[in-house]
Amino acid sequence: MSALPPVLSSRITAATEAVFGTPYDPELRSATKPEFGHYQSNVALRIGNALNKPPREIATRLVAELRLDDLCEQPSIAGPGFINLTLLPRTLAKAVNEPETFSSNGQRVVVDYSQPNVAKQMHVGHLRSTVIGDALCNVLAFTGYVVIRQNHVGDWGTQYGMMIEQLLEEGLEAESLDLEGLQHLYERSRKHFERSSGIRQHSDADGNFAHKARLRVVALQSGDPGTRTMWRHMVEVSLDDFDKVYALLGTNLTRADVVGESAYNDDLPRVVSELDEQGLLTESDGARCAFLPGFLGRDGNPLPVIVRKSDGGFGYSATDLAAVRHRVGTLHADRIVYVVDHRQALHFDMIFTLARTAGWLDVPAEHVSFGTVLGPNGKPFKTREGGTVKLVELLDRAVARADALLAGREGVDREATARAVGIGAVKYADLSSDRGNDYVFDLDRMVAMTGNTGPYLQYAHARLTRLLSKAGPSTEVTQLTDPAELRLALLLTGFASTVEQVAETLQPHRLCTYLYDVASALSVFYEQCPVLSSEGETRASRIALCTATRKVLQDGLGLLGIEAPDAM
Ligand code: ARG
């Protein structure tokens, strides 16, 4: 069956048209209190304002015209003229029994997420992008999009020239280095480069290094085979390591989704020439720049998008412009979503604006921005030495906490469940607060079994699974009488519209809040409504309600990328 709010809305609109000759938006909302029923329409106030008539009088005329008796009890009018609607139990039962599903919407959405950098460990910022991006991909696919994942890995730029020169100078084999080795090599090469570029002449050994590193970048970007082989090795080692994190997290990203910065290399000259032909570029300190109206720095001076640097190299912006062209022109995106931390907001604002001006971007492009993960001291999460916290270690710690929680539980696959609960706890904590906010990485809170946490929801699901295993099958909700039962049923009917809202707003926390409400209503239901000890139709109907609740929890957690173990 179709979702209830749209049906109710269209009936109210029909009544406004019949009475006032105009189809008004009924402004249907969830009731603010249970005693007001299930939904409320404010349309009488709106019309009263427009026609300068008392809203209560308008509400009375609308209610007389409203045809809702197949779905609702007799509507009531409250306060200044709210129309309150209470669904009939059989309407709710039908909606629970026939949940709404989505069909393809024919739209293609590109989601740019995770995006770690080669030769560096993934850090908590990449964790956020990966977890939020994965959940959004699931939600978008569920609501009918074709989802195209793009892992825009940072694998291009001057640093690889430095690293390769350093490697050669130290006489190391590229094959001998793992990710940690690469990271240290990067540090050494950076220091070397800084020392060297401070020295003007190329006469001494160090001055030569900066020069050689620059030449090496040119060799890399123009495809010199030996240079490419060493670079390729660095990329492979890093991607192998990222894959380990992805496997531990249980994300959907694969190697096929990696389209790194390097993939756009051959398009970069074209990006510059097309912008040039359109007269969008200016020479500034030897660099080719676009100055967009309205983008000013703190000093009030115009801010450039640097498309080609003074040394002829291309940077992050050029690559992102090429990526937009590719996503619209080749991947045929109808919508593009970038899951990247809030510090890059200005970058994307400028890239989108320039790409639109150049005619490359004619579909919605959204920066799904997120806040910073903080350490216990309320400052950005770092090791005691000030380095980046290794993601794998953090996740391992969460799994260990979850494992301790499961001590002594019977009938539980301890290893698999600890993994599901630990990883689920971290993911849920990340997804459940408004993504724009910073949050403190606090394992105690994340792994807690009470409150709005992953383990709480997983436990609600596992408990239902155990109950249902004792109950025998029943799939038809046929009676809803107790208020706790009605409340739970009403919530279940909101699943599809909640998921749809997440697809629209790209705010996964809305789904978390919804699932938490469902789990909370379920625990009230357990208190008020015996299931297994009831009899006859009541028992069968309650078992069916539990079955539907279990499905919503399982599907909802699944969309968030969180496992729902059958026992814990
Ligand atoms: N690699 C970048 C970083 O770690 C994020 C890339 C975001 N995506 C993009 N299309 N620019 O900060």
At residue 98, φ and ψ (nearest 5 deg) are -125, 75
Residues linked to residue 473 through DSSP beta bridges, in sequence order: none
The pLDDT score that the predictor gives to residue 384 is 78
CB of 320 shorter than 6 A to ligand 1: yes
CB of 152 shorter than 6 A to ligand 1: yes
CB of 154 shorter than 6 A to ligand 1: yes
Written as six digits, the tokens of 37 are: 């029923």
The CATH class given to the 4-87 domain equals alpha beta
- Per the listing, tokens 């009230």 go with 524
CB of 317 shorter than 6 A to ligand 1: no
Residues linked to residue 82 through DSSP beta bridges, in sequence order: 78
Query: Which of the listed residues 340, 342, 373 should we mutate to test ligand 1's pocket, taking the one with most ligand atoms within 8 A of CB?
Result: 340
Evaluate whether 188 touches 169 at the Cβ level (below 8 Å): no
- Per the listing, tokens 């009939």 go with 88
CB of 341 shorter than 6 A to ligand 1: no
Handedness of CA 199, 202, 206, 208 (dihedral sign): positive
DSSP 3-state of 371? coil
Query: Which of the listed residues 111, 115, 264, 348 should we mutate to test ligand 1's pocket, taking the one with most ligand atoms within 8 A of CB?
Result: 115
The CA 154 to ligand 1 mean position distance, Å, reads 7
Amino acid at the residue 356: R
CB of 124 shorter than 6 A to ligand 1: no
CB of 117 shorter than 6 A to ligand 1: yes
pLDDT in single tens digits along all 568 residues of the chain: 568 999 999 999 999 999 999 999 999 999 998 889 999 999 999 999 999 999 999 999 999 999 999 999 999 999 999 999 999 999 999 999 999 999 999 999 999 999 999 999 898 999 999 999 999 999 999 999 999 999 999 999 889 999 999 999 999 998 899 999 999 999 999 999 988 877 655 455 566 898 899 899 989 988 999 999 999 999 999 999 999 999 999 999 999 999 999 999 999 999 999 999 999 999 999 999 999 999 998 999 999 999 999 888 888 999 999 999 999 999 999 999 999 999 999 999 999 999 999 999 999 999 999 999 999 889 998 877 878 788 888 999 999 999 999 999 988 999 999 999 999 999 999 999 999 999 999 999 999 999 999 999 999 999 999 999 999 899 999 999 999 999 999 999 999 999 999 999 999 999 999 999 999 999 999 999 999 999 999 999 999 999 999 999 999 999 999 999 999 9
Strands, E, within 351-470: which ranges? 365-370, 373-374, 439-440
Tell me how far apart the alpha carbons of residues 479 and 68 are, in angstroms, rounded to a whole number. Answer: 20
Query: Which of the listed residues 152, 326, 347 should we mutate to test ligand 1's pocket, taking the one with most ligand atoms within 8 A of CB?
Result: 152
CB of 544 shorter than 6 A to ligand 1: no
CB of 157 shorter than 6 A to ligand 1: no
CB of 340 shorter than 6 A to ligand 1: yes
The pLDDT score that the predictor gives to residue 63 is 97
Tell me how far apart the alpha carbons of residues 109 and 140 are, in angstroms, rounded to a whole number. Answer: 8
The CA 119 to ligand 1 mean position distance, Å, reads 14
Amino acid at the residue 351: I
Evaluate whether 38 touches 87 at the Cβ level (below 8 Å): yes
Secondary structure, 3-state, 40-67: EECHHHHHHHHHCCCHHHHHHHHHHHCC
Q: Is-above-0.80 flag for pTM?
A: yes
The CA 435 to ligand 1 mean position distance, Å, reads 17
**Minimum CA distance residue for ligand 1 atom 6:** 115
The CA 393 to ligand 1 mean position distance, Å, reads 23
CB of 151 shorter than 6 A to ligand 1: no
Integer-rounded Cα radius of gyration of the chain: 29
The pLDDT score that the predictor gives to residue 527 is 97
410 contact partners, CB below 8 Å, separation of at least 6 = none
Tell me how far apart the alpha carbons of residues 368 and 435 are, in angstroms, rounded to a whole number. Answer: 9
Query: Which atom of ligand 1 lies nearest, measured to the CA of 340?
Result: 7
DSSP 3-state of 23? coil
DSSP 3-state of 22? coil
Tell me how far apart the alpha carbons of residues 498 and 504 are, in angstroms, rounded to a whole number. Answer: 10
Query: Which of the listed residues 235, 338, 344, 366 should we mutate to test ligand 1's pocket, taking the one with most ligand atoms within 8 A of CB?
Result: 344
The CA 338 to ligand 1 mean position distance, Å, reads 9
The CA 340 to ligand 1 mean position distance, Å, reads 7
